[in-house]
Amino acid sequence: MPAVRAEMRSVRRLAFGLAMGLCLSVSGVAAGVSAAAEPARKVIVDDDGFGLAQWMLLQAPGVDVLGIAVVSGDVWRDEGVAQALRGVEIAHRTDVPVLKGAVYPLLNSEKLTDRWEALYGKLVWKGAWMKQWVEPTAQGLLSYHAPDVVPDLPEGNPVTKASDESAVLFMIRKVHEFPGQVTIIATGPMTDLALAQRIDPSFAGLAKELVYMGGSLNPQQVRGDNAAAEFAREFANSPRREFNFRFDPEAASIVFRAPWKRIVSVPVDPSTATEVTPELLRRLAAANPAFADAVKRKQPGFPLWDEIAAAVWLDPKLITKSEELYVDVNSQFGAGYGDMLSWRPGYQPDMDEQKEVVVRSVDVPRLEQKIVDLLSRKLPPAKQVH
Amino acid sequence: MPAVRAEMRSVRRLAFGLAMGLCLSVSGVAAGVSAAAEPARKVIVDDDGFGLAQWMLLQAPGVDVLGIAVVSGDVWRDEGVAQALRGVEIAHRTDVPVLKGAVYPLLNSEKLTDRWEALYGKLVWKGAWMKQWVEPTAQGLLSYHAPDVVPDLPEGNPVTKASDESAVLFMIRKVHEFPGQVTIIATGPMTDLALAQRIDPSFAGLAKELVYMGGSLNPQQVRGDNAAAEFAREFANSPRREFNFRFDPEAASIVFRAPWKRIVSVPVDPSTATEVTPELLRRLAAANPAFADAVKRKQPGFPLWDEIAAAVWLDPKLITKSEELYVDVNSQFGAGYGDMLSWRPGYQPDMDEQKEVVVRSVDVPRLEQKIVDLLSRKLPPAKQVH
């Protein structure tokens, strides 16, 4: 465990003992943020894994990543935690705590998903529950295994450990510690956020904002290549279905009816103009030797998803089109289970759903350049791992 | 009542007395179809009103319109029947029977729709139940009235009467009379077809095919004008919702799980590239003085909907893009009530849903020309109305 992380943990314990409140965090200092005129922007990422988005935020100047929470989704939580630990190690940011979120969605389960598919048809992607593709697919399958199994990571296994604190309690504690200052960027299922909101009804209102990747309005296949055509399977016959919502629909509905000050939504729609091409991977590998090995192991063909959420939070000028819509999620166990529901103002049912800023498109060349630029930045010195 | 209609009625009574069967119809002769080498293509239209689509079919060479059925939807059935009677009078085709279909959908109702909206948000269009727009809209509202009220028609009230035979029984009788030869073109809610299928399980299998306008995959606003933007409200936040399905979801689901030999689907998607522009109305009015007065009363701005279904049946070469999808309708009373469900082959649940040919786009200039050409054709002599 790195020395800084041990120090951080004792600080967190103290803060927890003070019952969510007035203790001044040292995380900004620990993160090595330069003392600029602007105070560092505080953010917690909650994701079902670890990817370019987290590196972008860790590398961004003037940003204080308070913690990296991990929830089950694309992979089980424990595998995602390992990815996150390795990710912060590669970025020399073991000062940032990795926090364990929920292993299981609120109501949904693998067995329910089997029954649902028998009634309503096969899902294209099921994350941790995925055993096989319905039809031939270039994208590789992750290994199917039990929740507590952590396969060896291609980028190497981490040597550091996750925090002992629950991701849910950590997020509650941090919004109390920095009221109105913490952005939550949620790029996986929303189980942790729903739990936080039901544990502490003031959670959402104390955060600065929620920025999330999830949901789907009516995406169109933009790019002509085979990878784009394969990913279009996910929305062509289910334009309102997206994995993060579908894995835990009840959680997403709880979150969207919580009193956030502001919500920014990045649905699938803007992602269809993007792709992790071999060329983009080459540019990223060339940007910084520290990330090169891990970047070279990444599979091309995927759209950019979480990266858009991170990027538009860092630089809202990347957004080329957005609109304000009321949003909720269909939590009824039927054909539309997990579907994004949206309403133009005036049509919404007023069941506590919120008006969200929904990103419809982004400037793709600038987005790619943003990712390259952030990854190019010099890393802080590696922390000593004892 | 025109002499020909009186004659037709006695023929129909005789046929009905023979219990759906072997009686040779004279409708082909009555319709004045020329004796060509190709036998006339037999079709029954079932719609919630009357429009250009019916005129196209009545005017088409080599087509025998066996009957025009009317069901509630955009307007109550009785108002639609009046429109249809007036429509065949204008076309000098009072030889074609107009048949009364269902007044009410199977389960859905105005009261249920009010409760649904309270839970799930305002619908953009509710047909016969529509009292007001949610937001300012150029398109005029039809009058809200009781099911048995028939307002004066702008194009003049009909002097002829509808058949005494139920549209449902008429359709059953005709598919028995001409097994494998009758196309059903359904451009309104599917209540009549569902009733026919549950009265006679051999109904769908005895028809030649079902061609319908209804449902919605993921339409995009194509045209830039205000009318197109206003119609985009119907799908922008509900890409799978379309009025014909939504008015009677259970009926549509019954119909799509019936054993048709072939189903051709015209969802909203191809319609967004079309519009009844003032220019198109001018061309149609100039095409034939017989239709000019009624055409001039038509409101511009609407997409072409039913006209696409009629046109691609008359000339499949108008289809520029189609795909084969399994289709059903969400009949669960929830946020997705009435939504079109579709599956790429391999993903379908195999709950008796059928593979349909789904029209994705059409050749719009050729479609417009087709409508103009058909309306340009010389009408048969007007029948004497006693």
Model ipTM value: 0.88
- The larger pLDDT score, comparing residue A385 to residue A348, is at A348
Interfacial residues of B (vs A; Cβ cutoff 8 Å): 117-122, 124, 134-135, 217-220, 233, 235-237, 239-240, 325, 330, 332, 334-336, 339, 341-344, 346-349, 351
In chain A, the residue whose alpha carbon lies closest to the alpha carbon of B334 is A332
Place of tokens 């599979």: A299
pLDDT at B20 > cutoff 50: no
pLDDT digits (tens, 9 = 90+) for A202-254: 999 999 999 999 999 999 999 999 999 999 999 999 999 999 999 999 999 99
pLDDT of residue A385: 60
pLDDT tier, B38 (very low <50, low <70, confident <90, very high otherwise): confident
* Cβ neighbours for A132, distance < 8 A, ≥ 6 positions apart: A141
Do residues A121 and A109 make contact, with C-beta atoms less than 8 angstroms apart?
A: no
Number of residues that make up chain B: 386
Picking from B325, B330, B351, the nearest residue to A336 by CB comes out as B330
The DSSP element (H or E) to which B243 belongs, if any, is: helix B243-247
Interfacial residues of A (vs B; Cβ cutoff 8 Å): 117-122, 124, 134-135, 217-220, 233, 235-237, 239-240, 325, 330, 332, 334-336, 339, 341-344, 346-349, 351
Percent pLDDT > 90 in chain A is 87
Q: Of the given ranges (A277-291, A293-307, B13-27, B48-62), which has the lowest mean pLDDT?
A: B13-27
The C-alpha angle with vertex A191 and arms to A65 and A102, in degrees rounded to 5, equals 80
Contacts of A351 in chain B (CB under 8 A): 119
- For residue B170, give the nearest of B45, B74, B30, B28 by alpha carbon: B45
pLDDT at A67 > cutoff 70: yes
pLDDT tier, B195 (very low <50, low <70, confident <90, very high otherwise): very high
Taking one residue from A and the other from B, the number of pairs with CB-CB distance under 8 angstroms is: 97
Domain ranges of chain B: 1-38, 41-375
Q: What is the rounded CA–CA span in Å between residue A255 and residue A251?
A: 6
pLDDT of residue B359: 98
Bridge partners (DSSP) of residue A358 are A265, A323
**Which ranges constitute the DSSP H helices of A155-288?**
167-177, 191-199, 203-206, 226-236, 243-247, 249-256, 278-287
Mean pLDDT of chain A: 91
- For residue B254, give the nearest of B193, B199, B315 by alpha carbon: B193
**Minimal CA separation from B241 to chain A, in Å:** 11
**Per CATH, domain A41-375 is 3.40.50.150:** no
CB contact under 8 A, A334 and B339: no
pLDDT at A13 > cutoff 70: no
* Average pLDDT of the segment spanning B279-297: 96
Contacts of A216 in chain B (CB under 8 A): none
pLDDT of residue B294: 95
pLDDT tier, A140 (very low <50, low <70, confident <90, very high otherwise): confident
pLDDT digits (tens, 9 = 90+) for B83-136: 999 999 999 999 999 999 999 999 999 999 999 999 999 999 999 999 999 999
The values of phi and psi at residue A209, to 5°, are -175, 165
pLDDT at B4 > cutoff 50: no
pLDDT tier, B12 (very low <50, low <70, confident <90, very high otherwise): very low
Contacts of B137 in chain A (CB under 8 A): none
- What's the predicted TM-score (pTM) here? 0.89
Q: What is the rounded CA–CA span in Å between residue A109 and residue A115?
A: 10
